[in-house]
Each structure stands twice: as C-alpha cells, then as structure tokens.
C-alpha cells in the first residue's frame, strides 16, 4: 500500500484514495486521420513495462479528482516524485544510469 503525495492537495494520502490510470506522457496525435494503422496502433496499444523507473498517470479519485503524474520504481515501489499535469519529470531512468 503506497503513500502518495498528491501534487495538487500537497498531502501524503493512502493509496486507497487514488486510482492508477496507466502510462503518463502519452500525447494524442493531432492528426489521427493522417496516421497509418501502425502509427495509430502504436499510440493506442503500445505501452512501456519497465523494470525500474516508470512515469505513470494517477487520479486522486477520492480526493480532488485531479489527474497527476508519478515517477515510481516498479521494483521497489519507491515513489521518486509526483508532479502536475503539463509538467515534466525531474527524475528519469536515464539520469539514474548516470
């Protein structure tokens, strides 16, 4: 059971208040009609499943109802940071390698 800091509420709250919503930073193509089936399928279905740092989308479902981003280690379940929509992560897997 994770303890999650909602970047909008700015409080540590129990995981029970939140629901995960998949991979973060997936941008909807602006020109869907111009994409090939394969390009569209990539947006639609292909998701990362990393061992280690992962950027995820979460919803503070039983709280402020805001979606936000979380960088989480999928092995240790450590949460490196949570950040608002539209922001970029300050901790990334490539940084960790260094």
Partner 1 sequence: MRQVNRIAAKSKHINRSRILSFTFNGKEYQGYEGDTVASALLANGVNVVGRSFKYSRPRGIITADSQEPNAIFQVGSTQATTIPNPRATQTELYQGLVATSTNGWPNVDFDLMSTVGKVGGSMMPPGFYYKTFMYPQSLWMSYEHLIRKGAGLGTSPTQADPDSYDKIHHHCDVMIVGAGPAGLAAALAAADTGARVIISDEQNEFGGHLLCSTQQIDGQLPNLWVEKIVEKLSNMDNVLLLPRSTVFGYYDHNLLGINERCTDHLGEHKSKTIRQRMHKVRAKQVILATGAHERPLVYGNNDVPGCMLANAVSTYINRYEVVPGNELVLMTTNDNAYKTAIDWHQAGRQVIAIVDTRATSNGELVKQAKQLDIDIIFGHGVINVKGSKRVKGVDIAPINVNNHCLTGSAKHFSCDTVASSGGWSPVIHLSSHTGSRPVWKDDIAGFVPGETVQAQHICGGLEGVYSLSKVINDGFSTGAKAAQAADKGEGRYEGSQPHIVDPQEDASMALFHIPHSKRTSRAPKQFVDYQNDVTAAGIELANREGFESIEHVKRYTALGFGTDQGKLGNINGMAITAKSLGKTIPETGTTIFRPMYTPTTFGALAGSDVKHLFDPVRFSAMHKWHLDNSAEFEDVGQWKRPWYFPQAGETMQQSLERECLATRNSVGILDASTLGKIDIQGKDAREFLNRVYTNPWSKLAVGKCRYGVMCKEDGMVFDDGVTACLDENRFIMTTTTGGAAGVLQWLELWHQTEWPELEVYFSTVTDHWSTMTISGPNSRKVLEKICDIDVSNDNFKYMDWIEANVAGVKARIFRISFTGELSFEINVQANYGMHTWQAVMAAGKEFNITPYGTETMHILRAEKGFIIVGQDTDGSVTPQDLDMDWVVGKKKEFSFIGKRSWTRYDNKRDDRKQMVGLKPKDPKFVLPEGAQIVFEPNQSIPMTMVGHVTSSYYSACMGYSFALAVVKGGINRKGQSVFLPLSDGTTVEAEICSPVFYDPKGDRQNV
Between 41 and 92, whose beta carbon lies closer to partner 1? 41
3-state secondary structure the chain: CCEEEECCCCEEEEHHHCEEEEECCCCCCCCHHHCCHHHHHHHHHCCCCCCCEEEEEEECCCCCCCEEEEEEECCCCCEEEEEECCCCCCCCHHHHHC
Contact flags string 34-73 toward partner 1, x per CB under 8 A: -x-x--xx--x------------x-x-x---xxx-----x
Residue 8 contacts which entry, partner 1, Zn ion, none (Cβ below 5-8 A, type-dependent): Zn ion
Contact flags string 51-80 toward Zn ion, x per CB under 5 A: ---------x--xx----------------
Among the listed residues 52, 75, 87, 91, the single contact to partner 1 using CB under 8 A: 75
Q: Which of residues 11-30 bind partner 1 (CB under 8 A)?
A: 14, 21, 27-28
According to DSSP, the residues that pair with 73 across neighbouring strands are: 53
**Contact present, 79 and 70 (Cβ < 8 Å):** yes
Residue 2 binds partner 1 (CB under 8 A): yes
């Amino acid at each position: 059971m994770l303890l999650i800091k909602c970047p909008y509420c700015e409080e540590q709250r129990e995981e029970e208040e939140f629901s995960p919503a998949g991979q973060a930073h997936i941008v909807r193509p602006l020109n869907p009609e111009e994409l090939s089936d394969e390009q569209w399928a990539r947006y639609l279905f292909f998701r990362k499943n990393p061992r280690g740092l992962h950027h995820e989308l979460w919803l503070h479902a039983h709280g402020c109802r805001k979606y936000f981003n979380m960088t989480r280690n999928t092995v240790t379940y450590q949460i490196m940071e949570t950040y608002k929509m539209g922001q970029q992560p300050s901790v990334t897997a490539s940084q960790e390698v260094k």
